[in-house]
Amino acid sequence: MARLIDASKMDSIKEVTLQMVVEKGYGGASIAEIAKKAGVADGYLYRFYNSKEELVNDLLFNAVGDIMDNLEKLMKDETLTVSLIVEKLIQYLFDVANRQPEKIKFLFVLMHEYKFNLEKEQQKKIMQLCHRLKVKGEDTGEISPDTDEEIIYLMCVSLPIQYINLRFKRFFNRSELTKKQLKSLLSVCLKSLK
């Protein structure tokens, strides 16, 4: 028998899970508490996910997938330089942070949770996209041949997420992420790729 999906319930489950993982960490968020806050029975949640880990992995896969889909779309525009691609990618992360801060906070939390890794296919796609960016950047002189794909991912995705989270935490300052911060961060990222 097919599982009937109530989209609003699933959206609520996903939203509550993001919030709980951000607030309490992976270990502090229980299925029972997620279900209760989402207004569904535990059994409803278990119809779609076998465990909390499977639910969180699904959210992580989708969040990282959105970033990689954005990068892939940017890479298809052959008129864009590496600098513009990185700028537009960071702008995308800033936009997500300004519209859906919990999504960026969730990514940050799971980037530091050893229990979670990206799925092999997603890792492969990230490395392929970073390799394409590397080749393009080497051709234009924007990326050093010594810069590998992991450094490209670190500087173009991980560092901006770290920066955004420092601002969320009011570590130094908290204001909306603006063009000024984007340009400053972009400068650091691009210099590190050369």
Up-side HSE of residue 32: CA atoms within 13 Å toward CB? 1
Q: Over its length of 194 residues, how does the chain's per-residue pLDDT go in tens digits?
A: 445 567 788 889 999 999 999 999 888 888 889 999 999 988 888 888 888 889 999 999 999 999 999 999 999 999 999 999 999 999 999 999 999 999 999 999 998 888 788 889 999 999 999 999 999 999 999 999 999 999 999 999 999 999 999 888 877 766 678 788 899 999 999 999 99
Q: What are the distances in angstroms from CA 189 to CA 99, 118, 128, 143, 151?
A: 23, 23, 19, 11, 10
Exposure string (b/e) for 110-148, b if CB count within 10 Å is 16 or more?
beeeeeeebeeeeeebbbebbebbbebbeeeebbeeebe
For residues 133 and 146, is the Cβ–Cβ distance under 8 A?
Answer: no
Domains in the chain, please, with CATH? Answer: 1-49 (1.10.10.60), 53-193 (1.10.357.10)
